[in-house]
Amino acid sequence: MMAKRMNMSGGRRSGERATAVHVLLGIGLLSMLMGCGGGETESKSMEQIHAEEGVPVRVETVKLESLTLEYTYNGVLTGELESSANAKVSDAVEHVYFKVGDSVNKGDVVLTFPTDNPAAQYFQAKVSYDNATVSLERMETLYREGGISKQDVDNVRTQYEVAKANWDAAEQAVMVRAPISGIITQLNVRESDNVEPGEVLFKVSRAGRLKARLWVPESQIADMAVGADATATWGRSTLEGSVTQVDMSLNSKKQAFGVLVEFDNPDLAVLSGINAGIKVFIPTGSDAVVVNRGTVFREDSKHFVYVAGGSVALKREVVIGRTRGLDVEIVSGLEPGDVLITEGQMLLEEGVKINIVEEKRG
């Protein structure tokens, strides 16, 4: 009897659990159905709101403004003046007197090679120069005393000039001097390094002012002008400058025109030789209708915008012109005073009712 009661009790509990599961499943399915129905109702409600109150949009009044073109390029910035020194002999570097970042004056000895290098003929050139100097001084004294002719002096002076040139070349081969005043921006050798003739030993730059050569396509060169403002950006540093030269002939290799821009670099924040983003700003000297390119859309190779015609949206074809960053010039299709729809146009069609929620006036 006890076993029978336990079986009956267990059966009731199993039935109750099954019933509870079915109830939960039914509630879940009903919730899903209600959710789907709610979404459809909400969608219809939004359509009804737009139909009754209009599609919410933001607008601004079109106005004329001064158009400044903005062209963007990449360019390598180098010192306004920059020069390098090359090895003239094959030998090991004997001494290096400066390091990268040091300031030098034109003619300072930056590094030396041994003076006994056979190729330099340093000592032979020095002896020949000293003898030529003494001979010239002696002949000039005799000429002043009337002992020889001017032709004799001129002949000796020619020999002196040749000896001096040979001595200068020999000295420059073993005592390598700074070609210009500036900062050593590159040093390619250390003491005891072996070099060959023609190798670049070091580079000197005037980095307080940097320059870059831009290659401008034919479609933009007509807008370029000397004096136009420019900026160069590298990392967090931005330099101010201007266009200093515009080539008048096409470079056949680049298939572009060369344009030189220069920038002040007073704190030497930007290093010579880096690649910078460069912008050139060209004032057109005339007013134009300029809008954000996001307000313009394209259909079948034509451009359109939406304007507010009272309480409805009007689709209007426009002709675009020059660009300035995110802005574009409207050549025709918009006039000052038109109310341009700037946000919400993705929901619009011709004649759709609109609700202006914000208006920006010029």
Q: Following CA atoms 125, 176, 110, 181 in sequence, which dihedral angle do they give, to the nearest 10 degrees?
A: 110
Query: What's the Cα-to-Cα distance from 356 to each of 32, 62, 260, 292, 305, rounded to whole Å?
Result: 37, 16, 48, 19, 16
Which pLDDT score, from 0 to 100, does residue 272 have? 86
Q: Which of 83, 79, 81 is nearest to 179 (CA)?
A: 83
The CATH 2.40.30.170 portion of the chain extends over: 72-79+207-284
Residues of the chain with pLDDT under 50: 1-41
The CATH 2.40.50.100 portion of the chain extends over: 83-205
CATH code given to domain 72-79+207-284: 2.40.30.170
Q: What is the pLDDT of residues 267-316, one digit of tens each?
A: 888 988 899 999 999 887 778 898 998 999 999 889 999 999 988 999 99
Which residues contact residue 269 at a Cβ distance below 8 angstroms, ignoring those fewer than 6 apart? 237, 239
Say how far apart CA 345 and CA 291 lie, in whole Å.
14
In a 10 Å sphere around its CB, with 0-12 CB exposed, 13-18 middle and 19+ buried, how is residue 303 labelled? middle
Say how far apart CA 304 and CA 286 lie, in whole Å.
24
Which pLDDT score, from 0 to 100, does residue 244 have? 96
**CATH of 55-65+286-360 given 3.30.1330.40, 2.40.420.20, 2.40.128.260, 2.60.40.2250:** 2.40.420.20
| CATH 2.140.10.10 is the classification of domain 83-205 | no
Say how far apart CA 35 and CA 12 lie, in whole Å.
35
Q: What is the pLDDT of residues 114-158, one digit of tens each?
A: 999 888 888 999 999 999 999 999 999 998 888 889 999 899 999
The CATH 2.40.420.20 portion of the chain extends over: 55-65+286-360
Q: Which of 166, 188, 207, 169 is nearest to 82 (CA)?
A: 207
Q: What is the pLDDT of residues 341-350, one digit of tens each?
A: 999 888 888 8
